[in-house]
Structure 1
């Protein structure tokens, strides 16, 4: 009976100790052991709440605007939106003071999910006269991919309609801001943008 009880407790401990929690995110390495990048999902694809991870509170919270939950009054997010962990775009070097943003094209993932990704492009936005880069990525796991892309070349040649949708969404999703598309960069530029801001703990 004692052995059985010990086995149950051990199993529960192992399950909970292996789960990623928001407390882990500040120390989460940017890359996995096999060289893929990681993305922490804040906003699941197909939803409209502007959820953000707060480092100080170690929680995912709906962003506030004028004391109210910020709901995107437009079409829902076309991909899973989040950030590359252990990155910091330093304002003193032209960054926006946040982690590198990423949009993962794939099936909807829960808030707090940690996904291995392959960067395939970067879309360059002009937000209030400042450049704002968004990494576009696909899941590294083949079973989680919904479109067949190897790099920016295949993305632009095989899915030009998706590029148009993303441009349109990023341009118009926030009615309080005027956003413009400056252009796109390929996977090499996307990776360079990530590497530029890595700040491993």
Structure 2
């Protein structure tokens, strides 16, 4: 470890220099691994087994996470581990500052030896089948990587600790959400708006993510009731984000009945205050997000209604790769379902509902085939990840949503207007929002649906 100290000092000085601190310090570092069971162990007894990689901190500063010194060095062989770095800096007047930066969870070290470490630039993701490539944002000449840190990483990146806003949990107040239907069902004019006791709200931004943060109970907005075919979804690009039917090539979209499945086989919807960022490469799948709130398959017995806001516990998640984008599909159950007490993790689903996960994977693989599209693909060979993994994905998409609604991310045409979120970059006046709903056409009699919607399709996977 003593042989590492010169390079540890160099890394710390670089970080301090990037923050605008210029003095002649003496630096002492203590680096340990934080193991999954919580035990701290020394990083390694001898020289590290591979050279470091220059990387750039990917998080955009926000009100809850201000800017901080960014450049760090990391080791790919430690990907997936948490590393605690404690740095003590002493200046000439013997004052000291100790900074235990566990939020970065990155390695700030260089190899032992008498020569300058070899800095390996991060590889481009252009060879990934489902991702667009990344490239250097500046010079990539040898010797400049350490100072410029010009490469954006493709491998897993640490994230700052997540801070849940007061508007993101409803555990301290009742969630009195109702809906107002407008227009003609089964037509382009049909929309479902949301409101609470104070007036109109956005189901994307104003319904809290958490029903109970401590117990990890989430609010779910039901877009499509089980056994139905109309592809209804939160309209993320429209004012107040009402639920409406998806349209493709001017026609309303319906999912096909792929035998033996009829319509959607669960209550299908989304978690509010989440966003799968299309500008971020997901660390688990190496693919970008799909620009929507994270999807939920609620597997309880009750057939919900469009616009219902139900409280669910998340059991796990599937990672659908849809046209090169990561499209997470959470598996959840209504907390009021009779089976809910027996389902705590994804492994319990097969135990108490044998065949259900297999049917879910099959449904997602084949549901677009009748439209002439190829079979959908999954990450992890179609295996569902457990509850802990799913919770991590939810919190990451919640953090992405926070950056979106604050105006720190490219909106890409999404409407980020919010009535209730204090940090929102686009605040919607209640009277203006109410005028929008009041001006919508009254709900009328449903239009007839083409009987072809009820056709059975027999799909055989190769």
**TM bucket normalised to smaller:** 0.7 to 0.9
CA shift, 1:189, in A, is: 1.1
Stretches (4+) displaced over 4 A: 145-148
Q: Runs of 5+ in structure 2 lacking a partner?
A: 1-174, 180-193, 195-199, 281-287, 403-420, 422-462
- Higher mean C-alpha deviation, range 34-43 or range 76-85: 34-43
Distance 2:298 2:341 in 1: 11
CA shift, 1:131, in A, is: 3.0
Distance 1:101 1:61 in 2: 16
Q: Runs of 5+ in structure 1 lacking a partner?
A: 1-16
CA shift, 1:122, in A, is: 0.4
Are the equivalent residues in 2 in contact too, given 1:49–1:72 (CA < 8 A)? yes
TM-score for both structures, normalised by structure 2: 0.38
Superposition RMSD in Å: 2.2
Paired residue for 2:389? 189
> Aligned with 1:138: secondary structure?
strand
Paired residue for 1:20? 178
Residues 37-72 of structure 1 deviation map (CA, whole Å, 9 limit, x = unaligned): 111000001101100111424322111112111011
Structure 2 counterpart of 1:180, from 355, 371, 377: 377
Are the equivalent residues in 2 in contact too, given 1:127–1:177 (CA < 8 A)? no
CA shift, 1:121, in A, is: 1.3
Residues 115-135 of structure 1 deviation map (CA, whole Å, 9 limit, x = unaligned): 100000101222223332100
The 5 Å alignment of 1:1-201 reads 18-21=176-179, 22=194, 23-24=200-201, 25=203, 26-33=205-212, 35=215, 36-55=217-236, 56-57=238-239, 58-74=241-257, 75-93=262-280, 94-106=288-300, 107-143=302-338, 145=339, 148-175=342-369, 176-181=373-378, 182=381, 183-198=383-398, 199-200=401-402, 201=421
Are the equivalent residues in 2 in contact too, given 1:152–1:186 (CA < 8 A)? yes
Determine which structure has greater relative contact order: mean sequence separation of CA pairs < 8 Å that are 6+ residues apart, divided by chain length.
1
> Aligned with 2:210: secondary structure?
coil
Are the equivalent residues in 2 in contact too, given 1:89–1:99 (CA < 8 A)? yes
Are the equivalent residues in 1 in contact too, given 2:235–2:244 (CA < 8 A)? yes
Distance 1:114 1:159 in 2: 24
> Aligned with 2:289: secondary structure?
coil
Residues 129-177 of structure 1 deviation map (CA, whole Å, 9 limit, x = unaligned): 333210010001245x589422112113333411111111111112234
Distance 1:142 1:64 in 2: 33
TM-score for both structures, normalised by structure 1: 0.82
CA shift, 1:178, in A, is: 2.6
| Equivalent pairs, count | 184
